[in-house]
């Protein structure tokens, strides 16, 4: 069984792996240009949401950094 992660490791994993993968997938779909207007709006909203979450996590990680 894997060892429990601390808060920093959990935040870094979410930021660097999960959110980065989501952002890339949304951007690729948006760039493909084959979605209808409703889907385009949804993709743009998701990209803004993921970027906002990434900024939040970066700020939280900065506060966790000692010194």
SS3 for 62?
helix
Identify the pLDDT of residue 66: 73
Identify the pLDDT of residue 34: 92
Q: Return the axis-axis angle of helices 37-64 and 20-32, rounded to nearest 10°.
A: 160
Q: How far apart are CA 9 and CA 7, in angstroms?
A: 6
CA distances from 46 to 2, 6, 19, 25, 56 (A): 31, 27, 11, 11, 15
Identify the pLDDT of residue 26: 97
- The string of pLDDT tens digits covering residues 8-45 is 999 999 999 999 999 999 999 999 999 899 999 999 99
């Amino acid at each position: 069984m894997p060892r429990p992660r601390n808060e920093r490791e959990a935040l870094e994993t979410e930021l660097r792996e999960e959110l980065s993968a989501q952002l890339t997938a949304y951007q690729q779909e948006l760039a493909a240009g084959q979605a209808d207007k409703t889907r385009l709006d949804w993709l743009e909203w998701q990209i803004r949401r993921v970027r906002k979450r990434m900024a939040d996590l970066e700020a939280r990680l900065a506060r966790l950094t000692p010194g």
